[in-house]
Structure 1
């Protein structure tokens, strides 16, 4: 995750400053789009052909949620974010797409910033 964050930040900075090389924006297979920048919590991303898939990341919002502990369940406030994955079913099977999204969710939920930078 750390490498992805650092690489993404570098590409974003260079894109904003018009410093990307042509090779860096060609032949992509997967796009990550941040639809949460302006507060959108969910959306339906559309694949940039000829790419295989696109992942839309919504805004992080606080929501009531069940919190399970050794003492039982309770209702508390948790930060939540919606991930929307669209993929070409000719290339990616639905089960594989679901497993990929589950793994991405796991890594995001368990990412420890204090051990990463």
Structure 2
């Protein structure tokens, strides 16, 4: 890209634009770290230029996963007991706020890496 921009800046006549490359993180199989990959894909041809397994890593949580986490939290008996113990007024709304940053826990910090772009 730098070479292309330098040539363009200096008025080169026959420039071929650099390939448009997208970085994609995807599960190629089950949703576990053994099947989590980062791909570099040429957008024009669809050809995979680079494939790297991200074993031990996990992706950002998407909105669907966050909603599932919220629903599961609200179903948990301990959470329900804690809500009841607060004696909230009738009609009060409980909002669970899933948090997408940080490690999975102290026991697996050497195995898991939060992916931050």
Same fold (TM over 0.5): no
The TM-score bracket by the shorter chain reads under 0.3
TM-score, length of structure 2 as denominator length: 0.26
- Higher-Rg structure is 2
Which structure: greater strand fraction?
1
Which structure: greater helix fraction?
1
